[in-house]
Structure 1
Amino acid sequence: MAAKADLVILNGKVLTMDSARPRASAVALAGGLILAVGSTEDIRALAAPGARVIDAAGGTVMPGFIDSHVHLFQGSAALEFMDMSGAETADEAARTIRAYAGANPDEPMIFAVSTIYGLMDGRNPTRHDLDAILSDRPLALLSPDIHTVWANTLALRQAGLLHGAPVPEGSVIVMEAGGNATGELQETGAFGPILKLNRTGGRDMLGYVTGTEPEPPATEEERAADRRLIAKGLDHAASHGITTMHNMDGNFYQLELLSDLDASGDLKCRMQVPFHLKNYDPLDRLEEAAEMHRRYTGDRVWSGRVKMFMDGVIDTHTAWMTRPYPGTDTVGEPVFEPEHFNEACRRIDAAGLQISVHSIGDLATRRVLDGYAAARAANGRRDARHRIEHIEVIHPDDLPRLKELDVVASLQPRHSALGDYFPLIPQGTLLHDDQYPYAFAWQRIRDTGTPVIFSTDWPVIPVDPMRSIQCAVAPLDPGAPWDVRPQSLMDTLASYTSGNAWVEFNEGRKGQLVPGQMGDVVVLTHDIEALAPDQIHTARAMVTICGGQITYSG
């Protein structure tokens, strides 16, 4: 007797992401796996008595989205911290901060996320600006890219930063002429002490700031609070059709919390968590990465990857460039020195682990490629699928090296200044005119044959795949010196599904609607192929299914 389905999805526009059978109208699931795809009539006949029946009503049905670059714990916490995304002027900032502070009298520090650069009517805030808004309570504002914090005097004093402090290479406490901090803290090595003042004690960003464990260890009450927070973030991601996420910061603590949620049935998305190697870490710490990989190997919570940073961000001139930023004599600063980085790559690769490296500037990307080349020269060529995260600017000489070294380009379409979230980059400010065609050059990279995968980098931007898909397919076109090259819808969807399954070494097991693969599916409210490119964002997740279980319905 043929197997029967415990869940069927009928009347859909099914995109299987399988070239052998790209389209259908219905999908059947059984035991957490895809059972069959086919016509609505045939799939209806497979439904067991009492099976769950979902009417897609003409909406797209496709593999669940895999967001291959997120910061889950931070994103979860950001759902509850003060949101500054609507404040674009000094007056709006003051109103937002004072209203939140008044409504939250017990908050140990007023901490905000999504604070724009240039908040003080075109310039970044100083501690004096923030003191004028709120001086009697610690106050800190985190930039959207999670690379800069602006703090008031009380927060700086409590964190031991008011008079400066030693920081790792690549981090900066910006100082006043008189010897005190201005309030601007660039990169994690500078602002890490500030985060300990907030209500989470900084545990939400510990895997990002240091990659180490809570010290002292989290109490059971703190662990319960952190599990609740992460569960909220997982629910939020599932509401956007996401079934898997690749975390970009990590420690054993997060893996323990996720495993607890999995055991209690509250893990709404599959999660990969890396080991985070900092530039000041002894390379012997890589044994912890190997232990993570040995200990966490499931389909729902696993490791197997090491994350590093090579530079910062363009906005603060901390992205590492091949030549000085316009009108300056600075090229940014590397986080890792070349030989230190190369040796890290050699050791990680020799251990059979995957590498992800944050790289924004063109010189940073060149040095990451050099590190991957060093690993190959030492260990031989293997199917490593090492990744470079972001690649916001690339030198044309390095484009062919991506393919030559079998590198995966891990990109975020909505990070682009040609998207709908961040402002355009005016000429003569952050980029030279001849760099514009190689900034956010997603299609140029794809045209080399380099595998391209997509993500959001939540909470840098909202964890909404549809907005990112629209930014890839229908970017803004401000004209020269930009060279705008939209991507096709199907390439973009593959970069959010089958491509992301491939990069985690799960091709043939997930990322396609093919019998026998994991039952991870999203049903959209619209037929995405019928929407105008600039209307793709109107499609939302109607139902999300992970492992055959409905994780969102709305």
Structure 2
Amino acid sequence: MPPDIIIHNGVLMTFDDARPSAQALAIADGQITALGSDADVLALAGDATIRINAHGGTVLPGFIDSHVHLFGGSVELDCLDLYGVEGLDAMCAAIRPYAEANPGDDLVFCVMADYGILGTGKTPTRQDLDQILSDRPLAMFAPDHHTIWANTAALETTGLLPGGTVDAGSEIVMGDDGLASGELLEPGAYSPILALTRHGGREMLGLTTGKDPVPPATLAQRTMDKDVLARGLAHCAAQGITGLHLMDGNTYQLELLSELEAEGRLLCRCHVPFHMKGTDPLERLTTEAPVMRDRFQGDMVRCSHVKMFIDGVMESGTALMLEPYPGALGANGNTGDEVFTQDHFVACCIEADRLGFQIAVHAVGDAGVRRTIDAFEAAQHHNGRRDSRHRIEHIEVIHPDDIPRLADLGIVASLQPGHAPTGHFFPPGSEDQYLHPHQIAGAFAWQSIRKAGARVIFSTDWPVIPVDVMPNIRAAIAPLDLGPEWVDQSQSLEETLASYTRDNAWVEFNERNKGKLKVGMLADVVVMSHDLTTLAAEEITTAFACVTICDGQITYQRDR
């Protein structure tokens, strides 16, 4: 039977040791059926075979972004992006026209507002935002999605102006006048603000609570939510992405994605977690998580991991650190905010591991990372060692003593090169606000972790940074030089691409089906515009995806 698709005149990077390179491949019925020379593979073509000329570009397994928030990222494609905006005047110039153009929005919602948007050390207040808009609710999301700043109208509408009780690890920051200052730290504080968005906060429920909408979404809301997810999936496919590991989850998202699959609109394979909060009873893992997992076990939509947070982020002083932060962040001995009590966190890890789940934990600070390693170790002692592939997400700071423990315990380091101050995305120079000089050796220590033997995988954490693959690859292979005190953590192109493809397939226990260009593998393939191996590291972002194929179907195609 002739193949459905042939890709020829390419430079295939297969990640298959038995056949590391080739010129062409054939696809039929969603699988790779042949690799070889142009002549050999083209000879298999039939009249209906689609022939794709790679024009000498690199052909890879489809990219897998192993840490995204798909629903939130999809919604934010239509929000006002304040990336690069600095100062109150520039904020007014951006926000007021956007507000006028969207008079029906209950909340004027902006994203990518830098912590230093009003200058280093100046935290936005409700009074600052009132100068921009005073008669309508206005809120800004920080890039890391751990902080929202809201104006007085937004705080009044949500009942947050006088303050209130929030979950552990969250905070409604209060002003000297006894009212909320406008700064809301972590989901337990800012969830009422998100309820005012166009999607009613449904886009972030998988992150803020892990529960489904209450009351249940109407048919019109489900249609609206599916349409925005479809747009986000198309945006991912345009980057050469064929797989996504979501790091926020609920049954609602899994249902929407399954409906998109049935409608032929699911362009990427999606792994969705069961989200466990620090305030949740242990019984949720035993009673709810297995039911959710067992219901969704398809090739395109799957639930197989549990996601938890152990801490916050350094920029707001909520990441857990082994010693107080420097300067103002360390006032009153602040070492961060505890999202889980350690006893409860260890118990949750033991139970999730006992149930056979993979565990993914957000841990940013060196104390948060250590607590997570300790909990994974406790699970091994309690349940016995197995091929768990448990993951720590971010590891922005790790104590050097803990680096070898990752490999010893088989823990996967799930890292985002574009988040680092060396990553070309966030402005460098502010790290002295939250790192002591002696902590820099363990900061964003990708290569140190890799050299110590731990498996390293790469992702973006979209929408913290764009889901675009090539800028994140540049962050890994051509990081900025911040001076001699910063260890060079540069990655090679091959290990970076492997971490984005083969290794991200491995971490989802799918190495026998994807992550390589090999006969019998699922036909998830990307054709790049250039031979990536010929580009200087600094020029890697000139390359782009020309064709994306997921499950044997062309999900994206563009001219060169």
The bucket for the TM-score relative to the shorter chain is over 0.9
Pair 1:223 & 2:222 matched: yes
The residue matched to 1:130 in structure 2 has which SS?
helix
Q: Distance in 2 between matches of 1:88 and 1:65?
A: 34
Pair 1:113 & 2:117 matched: no
Match of 1:314 in 2: 314
The residue matched to 2:143 in structure 1 has which SS?
coil
TM-superposed deviation, 1:60: 0.6
Match of 2:247 in 1: 248
Match of 2:451 in 1: 447
Q: How does 1:314-463 map to 2 (within 5 A)?
A: 314-327=314-327, 328=330, 329-426=333-430, 428-463=432-467
Percent identity of the aligned residues? 55
Q: Distance in 1 between matches of 2:243 and 2:433?
A: 38
Q: Distance in 2 between matches of 1:59 and 1:545?
A: 15
Is 1:427–1:433's contact at 8 Å kept on the other side of the alignment?
A: no
Greater mean alpha carbon deviation, residues 65-74 or residues 416-425: 416-425
Pair 1:94 & 2:92 matched: yes
TM-superposed deviation, 1:432: 1.0
1:230-256, Cα deviation, whole Å (9 max, x unpaired): 000000000000000000000000000
The residue matched to 2:291 in structure 1 has which SS?
helix
Is 1:338–1:367's contact at 8 Å kept on the other side of the alignment?
A: yes
TM-superposed deviation, 1:86: 3.5
Q: Distance in 1 between matches of 2:345 and 2:431?
A: 33
2:509 pairs with one of 505, 509, 513: 505
Match of 1:291 in 2: 291
Number of equivalenced pairs: 552
Alignment-mate amino acid for residue 121 of structure 1: G
TM-superposed deviation, 1:124: 2.2
Match of 2:530 in 1: 526
Is 2:29–2:552's contact at 8 Å kept on the other side of the alignment?
A: yes
Alignment-mate amino acid for residue 426 of structure 2: F
Structure 2, gaps ≥5 residues long? none
TM-superposed deviation, 1:46: 1.3
The residue matched to 2:235 in structure 1 has which SS?
helix
Q: Distance in 1 between matches of 2:168 and 2:219?
A: 35
Q: Distance in 2 between matches of 1:6 and 1:360?
A: 45
TM-superposed deviation, 1:102: 0.8
Match of 2:28 in 1: 30
Alignment-mate amino acid for residue 411 of structure 2: V
Pair 1:545 & 2:544 matched: no
The residue matched to 2:270 in structure 1 has which SS?
strand
Alignment-mate amino acid for residue 94 of structure 2: T
Q: Distance in 2 between matches of 1:48 and 1:351?
A: 49
Match of 2:153 in 1: 154
1:262-297, Cα deviation, whole Å (9 max, x unpaired): 000000000000011001111111122111111100
TM-superposed deviation, 1:426: 4.1
1:28-77, Cα deviation, whole Å (9 max, x unpaired): 11111011111111110111221000000011100000000000000000
Q: Distance in 2 between matches of 1:427 and 1:503?
A: 31
Alignment-mate amino acid for residue 501 of structure 2: T
Any runs of at least 4 consecutive aligned residues in structure 1 with deviations exceeding 3 A, and if so which? 425-428
TM-superposed deviation, 1:485: 2.4
Alignment-mate amino acid for residue 391 of structure 2: R
Q: Distance in 2 between matches of 1:416 and 1:24?
A: 35
Alpha-carbon RMSD = 0.9
Q: Distance in 2 between matches of 1:222 and 1:435?
A: 47
Is 1:107–1:199's contact at 8 Å kept on the other side of the alignment?
A: yes
1:70 pairs with one of 63, 68, 71: 68
The residue matched to 1:240 in structure 2 has which SS?
coil
Q: Distance in 2 between matches of 1:47 and 1:102?
A: 56
- TM-score under structure 2 length normalisation: 0.98
Alignment-mate amino acid for residue 199 of structure 2: T
Match of 2:472 in 1: 468
Is 1:391–1:440's contact at 8 Å kept on the other side of the alignment?
A: yes
The residue matched to 1:48 in structure 2 has which SS?
coil
Pair 1:85 & 2:89 matched: no
The residue matched to 2:173 in structure 1 has which SS?
strand
- TM-score under structure 1 length normalisation: 0.99
The residue matched to 1:47 in structure 2 has which SS?
coil
Q: How does 1:270-289 map to 2 (within 5 A)?
A: 270-286=269-285, 287-289=287-289
Q: Distance in 2 between matches of 1:141 and 1:503?
A: 34
Q: How does 1:46-57 map to 2 (within 5 A)?
A: 46-57=44-55
TM-superposed deviation, 1:480: 2.4
